[in-house]
Amino acid sequence: MNDKKALSSSELATLWMTYQQKTMIQRILEYFIEKAHDEEAKEILLYTHSNVKDYIGRLIHLFENEGCVIPIGFTEEDVNIGVPKLFDHKFDIMFLRNLKATSMGLHTLHLNMSYRKDLILLYKELTGFTQTVYEKCMDYLREKDVLPGPPAVTVPKSIEFAQSPNYMAGFNIFSDKRTLNTVEVAYLYFGIETNTLGMQMMTGFAQAATEPEVKKYFIKGKELSKKIVSDYTHVLMQSDIHAPSTSGAKATDSTVSPFSDKLMMYCTSLFTNFGLGSNALGTAFSLRSDLPVKLAVTAKDILAYGHEGGKIMAKNGWMEQPPSMEDRNKLFK
Protein backbone atom coordinates (compact mmCIF):
# COMPACT_ATOMS: atom_id res chain seq x y z
CA MET A 1 0.00 0.00 0.00
CA ASN A 2 1.26 3.49 -0.85
CA ASP A 3 0.82 5.63 2.25
CA LYS A 4 2.11 8.78 0.54
CA LYS A 5 -0.36 11.58 0.01
CA ALA A 6 -1.26 12.42 -3.57
CA LEU A 7 0.78 15.19 -5.17
CA SER A 8 -0.54 18.67 -4.53
CA SER A 9 -0.81 21.19 -7.37
CA SER A 10 2.37 23.00 -6.25
CA GLU A 11 4.32 19.74 -5.92
CA LEU A 12 3.27 18.58 -9.38
CA ALA A 13 4.23 22.00 -10.74
CA THR A 14 7.72 21.92 -9.20
CA LEU A 15 8.39 18.37 -10.42
CA TRP A 16 7.28 19.33 -13.92
CA MET A 17 9.51 22.43 -13.94
CA THR A 18 12.46 20.44 -12.60
CA TYR A 19 12.03 17.82 -15.34
CA GLN A 20 12.02 20.49 -18.05
CA GLN A 21 15.17 22.09 -16.68
CA LYS A 22 17.07 18.85 -16.07
CA THR A 23 16.36 17.41 -19.52
CA MET A 24 17.52 20.70 -21.06
CA ILE A 25 20.74 20.59 -19.02
CA GLN A 26 21.29 16.95 -20.03
CA ARG A 27 21.21 17.83 -23.74
CA ILE A 28 23.44 20.89 -23.37
CA LEU A 29 25.98 18.88 -21.38
CA GLU A 30 26.10 16.17 -24.07
CA TYR A 31 27.29 18.78 -26.54
CA PHE A 32 29.71 20.46 -24.12
CA ILE A 33 31.27 17.11 -23.18
CA GLU A 34 31.92 16.33 -26.84
CA LYS A 35 33.56 19.75 -27.36
CA ALA A 36 35.35 20.02 -23.98
CA HIS A 37 38.63 21.96 -24.30
CA ASP A 38 40.56 20.25 -21.49
CA GLU A 39 40.32 17.26 -19.15
CA GLU A 40 39.50 19.29 -16.03
CA ALA A 41 36.51 20.90 -17.71
CA LYS A 42 35.41 17.56 -19.16
CA GLU A 43 35.56 15.93 -15.73
CA ILE A 44 33.21 18.58 -14.28
CA LEU A 45 30.83 18.21 -17.21
CA LEU A 46 30.81 14.38 -17.00
CA TYR A 47 30.20 14.47 -13.23
CA THR A 48 27.29 16.86 -13.71
CA HIS A 49 25.81 14.89 -16.61
CA SER A 50 25.94 11.58 -14.74
CA ASN A 51 24.10 12.99 -11.73
CA VAL A 52 21.57 14.92 -13.81
CA LYS A 53 20.77 11.72 -15.73
CA ASP A 54 20.19 9.88 -12.44
CA TYR A 55 17.86 12.61 -11.16
CA ILE A 56 15.88 12.51 -14.41
CA GLY A 57 15.41 8.77 -13.85
CA ARG A 58 14.12 9.45 -10.34
CA LEU A 59 11.70 12.07 -11.65
CA ILE A 60 10.36 9.62 -14.26
CA HIS A 61 9.89 7.03 -11.50
CA LEU A 62 7.97 9.60 -9.45
CA PHE A 63 5.67 10.46 -12.35
CA GLU A 64 5.02 6.78 -13.06
CA ASN A 65 4.22 6.00 -9.41
CA GLU A 66 1.72 8.85 -9.34
CA GLY A 67 0.04 7.67 -12.54
CA CYS A 68 1.08 10.92 -14.20
CA VAL A 69 2.06 11.34 -17.84
CA ILE A 70 5.82 11.88 -18.27
CA PRO A 71 6.59 15.31 -19.79
CA ILE A 72 8.45 15.46 -23.09
CA GLY A 73 11.01 17.99 -21.95
CA PHE A 74 14.05 17.83 -24.23
CA THR A 75 15.14 14.75 -26.15
CA GLU A 76 18.02 13.62 -28.36
CA GLU A 77 16.33 15.46 -31.23
CA ASP A 78 17.15 18.76 -29.51
CA VAL A 79 20.93 18.36 -29.71
CA ASN A 80 23.47 17.70 -32.47
CA ILE A 81 26.90 17.06 -31.00
CA GLY A 82 28.58 16.57 -34.38
CA VAL A 83 28.56 20.24 -35.42
CA PRO A 84 31.45 22.73 -35.04
CA LYS A 85 32.01 24.56 -31.75
CA LEU A 86 29.58 27.42 -31.29
CA PHE A 87 31.40 28.86 -28.27
CA ASP A 88 35.04 29.39 -27.41
CA HIS A 89 36.98 27.75 -24.59
CA LYS A 90 35.78 28.21 -20.99
CA PHE A 91 32.26 29.19 -22.05
CA ASP A 92 31.01 25.73 -21.06
CA ILE A 93 32.08 26.05 -17.41
CA MET A 94 31.04 29.70 -17.15
CA PHE A 95 27.65 28.78 -18.60
CA LEU A 96 27.31 25.80 -16.24
CA ARG A 97 28.18 28.04 -13.27
CA ASN A 98 25.38 30.47 -14.18
CA LEU A 99 23.00 27.60 -14.79
CA LYS A 100 23.76 26.17 -11.36
CA ALA A 101 23.22 29.59 -9.76
CA THR A 102 19.74 29.52 -11.29
CA SER A 103 19.19 25.93 -10.16
CA MET A 104 20.15 26.71 -6.56
CA GLY A 105 17.46 29.35 -6.37
CA LEU A 106 14.84 27.12 -8.01
CA HIS A 107 15.56 24.09 -5.82
CA THR A 108 15.33 26.15 -2.64
CA LEU A 109 12.05 27.68 -3.80
CA HIS A 110 10.68 24.28 -4.79
CA LEU A 111 11.68 22.80 -1.43
CA ASN A 112 9.61 25.50 0.26
CA MET A 113 6.65 24.65 -1.99
CA SER A 114 6.77 20.92 -1.16
CA TYR A 115 4.94 19.21 1.71
CA ARG A 116 5.67 15.52 1.15
CA LYS A 117 8.80 14.32 2.91
CA ASP A 118 10.13 12.42 -0.13
CA LEU A 119 9.97 15.59 -2.25
CA ILE A 120 11.55 17.74 0.43
CA LEU A 121 14.43 15.26 0.60
CA LEU A 122 14.67 15.26 -3.22
CA TYR A 123 15.06 19.04 -3.42
CA LYS A 124 17.44 18.96 -0.47
CA GLU A 125 19.62 16.49 -2.39
CA LEU A 126 19.35 18.53 -5.59
CA THR A 127 20.42 21.66 -3.70
CA GLY A 128 23.49 19.89 -2.29
CA PHE A 129 24.43 18.46 -5.69
CA THR A 130 23.97 21.86 -7.36
CA GLN A 131 26.14 23.57 -4.76
CA THR A 132 28.86 20.97 -5.34
CA VAL A 133 28.84 21.58 -9.11
CA TYR A 134 28.84 25.35 -8.57
CA GLU A 135 31.89 25.04 -6.30
CA LYS A 136 33.69 22.86 -8.88
CA CYS A 137 33.01 25.50 -11.56
CA MET A 138 34.24 28.31 -9.31
CA ASP A 139 37.44 26.44 -8.42
CA TYR A 140 38.11 25.77 -12.11
CA LEU A 141 37.46 29.36 -13.23
CA ARG A 142 39.56 30.82 -10.41
CA GLU A 143 42.42 28.47 -11.29
CA LYS A 144 42.21 29.55 -14.93
CA ASP A 145 42.02 33.22 -13.84
CA VAL A 146 38.87 33.79 -15.88
CA LEU A 147 36.70 35.50 -13.27
CA PRO A 148 38.04 38.93 -12.29
CA GLY A 149 35.76 39.19 -9.26
CA PRO A 150 33.73 42.16 -7.97
CA PRO A 151 35.36 45.57 -7.28
CA ALA A 152 37.65 45.82 -4.25
CA VAL A 153 36.60 47.87 -1.22
CA THR A 154 38.32 49.24 1.89
CA VAL A 155 37.27 47.24 4.95
CA PRO A 156 35.28 49.43 7.40
CA LYS A 157 36.91 50.19 10.77
CA SER A 158 33.80 51.49 12.55
CA ILE A 159 30.00 51.19 12.56
CA GLU A 160 28.02 53.93 10.84
CA PHE A 161 24.33 54.82 10.72
CA ALA A 162 22.54 56.99 8.16
CA GLN A 163 22.23 60.45 9.70
CA SER A 164 19.38 61.81 7.54
CA PRO A 165 16.92 60.92 4.77
CA ASN A 166 19.52 62.34 2.35
CA TYR A 167 21.14 58.90 2.47
CA MET A 168 18.35 57.74 0.17
CA ALA A 169 18.54 60.74 -2.17
CA GLY A 170 19.39 60.13 -5.80
CA PHE A 171 17.56 62.75 -7.82
CA ASN A 172 18.52 66.01 -6.13
CA ILE A 173 20.28 68.07 -8.80
CA PHE A 174 21.56 70.56 -6.22
CA SER A 175 23.61 68.04 -4.27
CA ASP A 176 25.92 65.16 -5.08
CA LYS A 177 24.61 61.62 -4.90
CA ARG A 178 26.20 59.58 -2.15
CA THR A 179 28.60 56.90 -3.27
CA LEU A 180 27.18 53.43 -3.75
CA ASN A 181 27.17 51.10 -0.78
CA THR A 182 28.50 47.55 -1.09
CA VAL A 183 25.02 45.97 -1.24
CA GLU A 184 24.12 48.13 -4.25
CA VAL A 185 27.46 47.41 -5.93
CA ALA A 186 26.97 43.67 -5.39
CA TYR A 187 23.68 43.57 -7.28
CA LEU A 188 24.89 45.89 -10.03
CA TYR A 189 28.03 43.83 -10.55
CA PHE A 190 26.06 40.58 -10.58
CA GLY A 191 23.85 42.06 -13.29
CA ILE A 192 26.90 43.09 -15.32
CA GLU A 193 28.56 39.68 -15.01
CA THR A 194 25.48 37.62 -15.93
CA ASN A 195 24.50 39.88 -18.83
CA THR A 196 28.05 39.85 -20.22
CA LEU A 197 27.81 36.07 -20.49
CA GLY A 198 24.22 36.38 -21.70
CA MET A 199 25.37 38.70 -24.48
CA GLN A 200 27.77 36.02 -25.76
CA MET A 201 25.13 33.30 -25.42
CA MET A 202 22.64 35.39 -27.41
CA THR A 203 25.29 36.08 -30.06
CA GLY A 204 25.93 32.36 -30.56
CA PHE A 205 22.23 31.52 -30.54
CA ALA A 206 21.48 34.27 -33.08
CA GLN A 207 24.19 32.98 -35.43
CA ALA A 208 22.90 29.42 -35.25
CA ALA A 209 19.09 29.80 -35.08
CA THR A 210 17.25 28.38 -38.08
CA GLU A 211 13.97 30.33 -37.86
CA PRO A 212 14.29 34.01 -38.93
CA GLU A 213 11.90 35.14 -36.18
CA VAL A 214 13.95 33.31 -33.56
CA LYS A 215 17.21 34.72 -34.92
CA LYS A 216 15.76 38.23 -34.69
CA TYR A 217 14.63 37.54 -31.12
CA PHE A 218 18.12 36.47 -30.04
CA ILE A 219 19.66 39.57 -31.62
CA LYS A 220 17.20 41.65 -29.63
CA GLY A 221 18.26 39.77 -26.50
CA LYS A 222 21.91 40.49 -27.23
CA GLU A 223 21.14 44.21 -27.51
CA LEU A 224 19.13 44.15 -24.28
CA SER A 225 22.03 42.49 -22.42
CA LYS A 226 24.43 45.02 -23.90
CA LYS A 227 22.22 47.91 -22.72
CA ILE A 228 22.00 46.50 -19.19
CA VAL A 229 25.78 46.09 -19.01
CA SER A 230 26.27 49.65 -20.29
CA ASP A 231 23.70 51.20 -17.92
CA TYR A 232 24.98 49.40 -14.81
CA THR A 233 28.61 50.12 -15.69
CA HIS A 234 27.74 53.82 -16.03
CA VAL A 235 26.24 53.82 -12.51
CA LEU A 236 29.41 52.23 -11.11
CA MET A 237 31.65 54.69 -12.94
CA GLN A 238 29.73 57.61 -11.40
CA SER A 239 31.09 56.39 -8.05
CA ASP A 240 34.58 55.89 -9.56
CA ILE A 241 34.13 52.12 -9.49
CA HIS A 242 35.58 50.16 -12.38
CA ALA A 243 33.52 47.22 -13.62
CA PRO A 244 35.86 44.28 -14.31
CA SER A 245 35.26 42.28 -17.47
CA THR A 246 35.69 38.55 -18.02
CA SER A 247 38.03 37.12 -20.62
CA GLY A 248 37.25 34.29 -23.01
CA ALA A 249 33.86 32.60 -23.31
CA LYS A 250 33.11 34.17 -26.68
CA ALA A 251 30.89 32.92 -29.48
CA THR A 252 32.84 31.48 -32.42
CA ASP A 253 32.11 32.22 -36.09
CA SER A 254 30.09 29.01 -36.52
CA THR A 255 26.57 29.35 -37.94
CA VAL A 256 25.55 25.72 -37.41
CA SER A 257 23.43 25.12 -34.33
CA PRO A 258 24.15 22.29 -31.89
CA PHE A 259 20.71 22.85 -30.34
CA SER A 260 17.15 23.06 -31.58
CA ASP A 261 15.49 26.47 -31.69
CA LYS A 262 13.06 25.09 -29.11
CA LEU A 263 15.88 24.33 -26.64
CA MET A 264 17.61 27.68 -27.18
CA MET A 265 14.33 29.54 -26.66
CA TYR A 266 13.63 27.65 -23.43
CA CYS A 267 17.17 28.27 -22.19
CA THR A 268 16.77 31.98 -22.93
CA SER A 269 13.41 31.99 -21.13
CA LEU A 270 14.98 30.36 -18.06
CA PHE A 271 17.76 32.95 -17.80
CA THR A 272 15.35 35.79 -18.55
CA ASN A 273 13.09 34.78 -15.67
CA PHE A 274 16.08 34.39 -13.36
CA GLY A 275 17.33 37.83 -14.41
CA LEU A 276 13.93 39.30 -13.59
CA GLY A 277 14.08 37.79 -10.10
CA SER A 278 17.63 39.04 -9.48
CA ASN A 279 16.61 42.49 -10.69
CA ALA A 280 13.70 42.50 -8.22
CA LEU A 281 16.07 41.71 -5.34
CA GLY A 282 18.43 44.47 -6.44
CA THR A 283 15.51 46.90 -6.52
CA ALA A 284 14.37 45.90 -3.03
CA PHE A 285 17.80 46.28 -1.43
CA SER A 286 18.95 49.48 -3.19
CA LEU A 287 18.44 52.48 -0.90
CA ARG A 288 19.57 55.30 -3.19
CA SER A 289 16.33 56.48 -4.77
CA ASP A 290 17.56 56.67 -8.36
CA LEU A 291 18.60 53.00 -8.44
CA PRO A 292 15.18 51.34 -7.95
CA VAL A 293 13.83 53.54 -10.75
CA LYS A 294 16.63 52.48 -13.11
CA LEU A 295 16.24 48.83 -12.09
CA ALA A 296 12.46 49.04 -12.55
CA VAL A 297 12.93 50.26 -16.13
CA THR A 298 15.30 47.35 -16.74
CA ALA A 299 12.75 44.95 -15.24
CA LYS A 300 10.07 46.28 -17.58
CA ASP A 301 12.35 45.64 -20.58
CA ILE A 302 13.20 42.12 -19.36
CA LEU A 303 9.53 41.31 -18.74
CA ALA A 304 8.53 42.51 -22.21
CA TYR A 305 11.35 40.48 -23.75
CA GLY A 306 10.31 37.35 -21.90
CA HIS A 307 6.67 37.82 -22.90
CA GLU A 308 7.67 38.14 -26.54
CA GLY A 309 9.66 34.92 -26.28
CA GLY A 310 6.67 33.10 -24.82
CA LYS A 311 4.57 34.13 -27.81
CA ILE A 312 7.19 32.81 -30.24
CA MET A 313 7.41 29.48 -28.38
CA ALA A 314 3.63 29.06 -28.32
CA LYS A 315 3.32 30.02 -32.00
CA ASN A 316 5.83 27.33 -33.02
CA GLY A 317 4.47 24.60 -30.75
CA TRP A 318 7.54 24.61 -28.49
CA MET A 319 5.79 25.55 -25.23
CA GLU A 320 4.89 22.37 -23.39
CA GLN A 321 2.00 23.25 -21.10
CA PRO A 322 2.35 22.64 -17.36
CA PRO A 323 -0.35 20.43 -15.81
CA SER A 324 -3.58 22.43 -15.46
CA MET A 325 -6.25 22.56 -12.81
CA GLU A 326 -9.63 21.03 -13.65
CA ASP A 327 -11.80 23.13 -15.94
CA ARG A 328 -15.06 22.87 -14.00
CA ASN A 329 -17.10 24.73 -16.60
CA LYS A 330 -15.99 22.24 -19.25
CA LEU A 331 -16.81 19.32 -16.96
CA PHE A 332 -20.26 20.72 -16.23
CA LYS A 333 -21.04 20.64 -19.95
pLDDT digits 0-9 by tens, 260-314 = 999 999 999 999 998 888 888 888 888 888 888 889 999 999 999 999 999 999 9
> Where along the chain do the CATH 1.20.1260.10 domains lie?
9-143, 165-315
Of the segments 63-72, 161-170, 246-255, 283-292, which one has the largest average pLDDT value?
63-72
Domain covering 165-315, topology? Ferritin (1.20.1260)
Q: What SS3 state is found at 259?
A: strand
Separation CA 34–CA 86 (nearest Å) = 12
Domain 9-143 has CATH 1.20.1260.10: yes
Looking at residue 239, its pLDDT comes to 86
Give the DSSP letter of residue 276.
H
List the single range of 19-33, 70-84, 120-134, 144-158 with lowest mean pLDDT. Answer: 144-158
Residue pair 195/225 in contact by the 8 Å Cβ criterion: yes
Residue pair 17/4 in contact by the 8 Å Cβ criterion: no
Average pLDDT for the chain: 90
Tell me which of 90 and 170 has the higher pLDDT: 90
- Give phi and psi for 251, each to the nearest 5: -75, 145
Give the DSSP letter of residue 323.
P
Looking at residue 81, its pLDDT comes to 92
- Give phi and psi for 122, each to the nearest 5: -60, -50
| Mean pLDDT confidence for 243-253 | 77
Burial 179-205 (b: 16+ CB within 10 A, else e): ebbeebbebbbbbbbbbbbbbbbbbbb
Q: 289-294 long-range contacts, Cβ below 8 Å, gap at least 24? A: 289/168, 289/169, 289/170, 289/171, 290/170, 290/171, 290/177, 291/170, 291/184, 291/235, 293/170, 294/231, 294/235
Q: How far is CA 17 from CA 59, 63, 97, 180, 322, in A?
A: 11, 13, 20, 37, 8
Query: How many C-beta atoms lie closer than 10 Å to residue 61's C-beta?
Result: 11
Q: For the whole model, what pTM was predicted?
A: 0.90
